[in-house]
Structure 1
Amino acid sequence: MSNIKLNIENLTSLWQKASEPFNAYFKEPQFDYSFIKHSDWPNRLWFDQEITEEIVSSAKEKIVSISKKMIIPYWDIYNNDSCEILKRKGFHVKFEQIGMSLKREQLFESLNNVHLKKVTTEQEAKLWSILFFNSFGYNLHSGISNSLQKNTDFYIAYHLHEAIGTGILYTTNGISGVHAVGIIPEHRRKGYAAEIMKMLINQSIKMKSKLITLQSSNMGKGLYLKLGFEEQFVMKNYALSQ
Structure 2
Amino acid sequence: MNKQIIDHLFEFWEQIGKHGNFLTKENGFSFAKPTNGSWPNKVFDLTMEKLDIHALCEEIISEELPNSIAVPENEAIKDLLRSKGLRATSKIKAMTLDTTNIFFGNIDASEFIKVGSPTEAELFAQVATESFGYPVDPSTIGALVDKPGFQIFLGNHENAFPSCGMVYLDQNGVSGIHMIGTKAGYRGLGLGKKMTQFLVNQSIENQSKEVYLVASQAGERIYTKMGFTTHGVLESYSLSLH
The residue that corresponds to 2:200 in the other structure is 201
1: CA distance, partners of 2:183 / 2:154: 11
Counterpart in the other structure of 1:101: 96
Tell me the secondary structure at the aligned position of residue 57 of structure 1: helix
Of the three residues 44, 47, 50, the one matched with 1:46 is: 44
Q: Distance in 1 between matches of 2:174 and 2:56?
A: 29
C-alpha distance after superposition, 1:17-76 (max 9, x if no partner): 111234311112211111112242112111343479x64323222322335653101112
- Stretches (4+) displaced over 4 A: 111-114
SS at match of 2:39: coil
Alignment of 1:109-188 (within 5 A): 109-110=105-106, 112=108, 115-148=111-144, 149-172=147-170, 173-188=172-187
Question: Of residues 85, 88, 93 in structure 1, which corresponds to 2:83?
Answer: 88
Q: How many corresponding residue pairs?
A: 237
Q: Deviations over 1:85-125 (max 9, x none)?
A: 32332222222100111111321132549822111111111
Which residue is 1:72 aligned to? 69
Residue 221 of structure 1 aligns with which residue? 220
The answer on whether the counterparts of 1:155 and 1:167 sit within 8 Å (CA) in structure 2 is: yes
1:29 aligns with 2:24: no
TM-score for both structures, normalised by structure 1: 0.89
CA 1:26–1:215: 2 relative to 1, 3 Å: same
Please, what TM-score do these two structures have when normalized by structure 2?
A: 0.89
- Structure 2 residue runs without a partner (length 5+): none
Contact 1:43/1:71 (CA < 8 Å) preserved in 2?
A: yes
When residues 239 and 26 of structure 1 are mapped into structure 2, their CA distance, relative to the original with a 3 A threshold, is same
Match of 2:53 in 1: 56
Aligned CA-pair RMSD: 2.1
Distance 1:35 1:89 in 2: 22
Partner amino acid for 1:26?
T
**Which whole-Å deviations, capped at 9, do the CAs of 1:180-238 have from their partners, x for residues lacking one?**
10111111122111111111111111211122101100111111101111111111112
1:160 deviates by 2.7
Secondary structure of 2:88's counterpart equals: strand
Q: How far does the alpha carbon of each residue in 1:136-187 deviate from its partner, in whole angstroms, 9 at most, with x for none?
A: 1111221121111211011111213111111110001211011110111111
What is the percent sequence identity of the aligned residues? 25
Alpha carbons 2:31, 2:65 under 8 Å: kept: no
Structure 1 unaligned blocks of 5 or more: none
